[in-house]
Structure 1
């Protein structure tokens, strides 16, 4: 084998090693970039973040609310679901009274 042939074989092996290193580096870079994109997407997903915060707050409130109060709230909720018409009528009446009070206050202010 001549020196030139030997140099070609050596440079071919070195090229293969450097190509493998480059491929590994590209794969690593892609993986890191993918993780970065996922993290940024999670930060910009406002709806999901709001839901997470709401769930955490709900859990904290439920944990700190006394049991008798939770039972009464559950009773009121089930009563309102069974009697929707009276509850809606009372709500509408409250809105009407509030609207009339605001209207009267504005007229007095003139």
Structure 2
């Protein structure tokens, strides 16, 4: 038989020996579970993907808040005629989008319609970001227009 390791005391009774065996079994079971978890590549990949998704959601929220703040600051700085033109352009863009949506529903095949619906939902979900981008584009356009004239 093998001798016990030098750092482990030998059991003095059968009951102690049973306890040592049970403790060793538990430790071995925990070790096997830890090794199995490390080798389960699919589960680890799913955990990492969930972590990355959560980080993306947090970052998107931060960016959305920052875009809303920037849009608000930019809109406050715009003169009233520019605000009116931006509102008018936004209204015209909405009307064109609705018109294009109706045309798309009439003429497009089903997979294209589904993709368009997904895109529209994404636009609705990120309305603030889109408005900030539109305001930024309007400011760039106005700045370019002023430098030309």
Q: Higher Cα Rg: structure 1 or 2? A: 1
The TM-score bracket by the shorter chain reads: 0.3 to 0.5
Given the two structures, how large is their TM-score scaled by the length of structure 2? Answer: 0.36
Given the two structures, how large is their TM-score scaled by the length of structure 1? Answer: 0.48
User: Which protein is richer in helix relative to its size?
Assistant: 1
Q: Which has the higher contact order (CA 8 A, sep 6+)?
A: 2
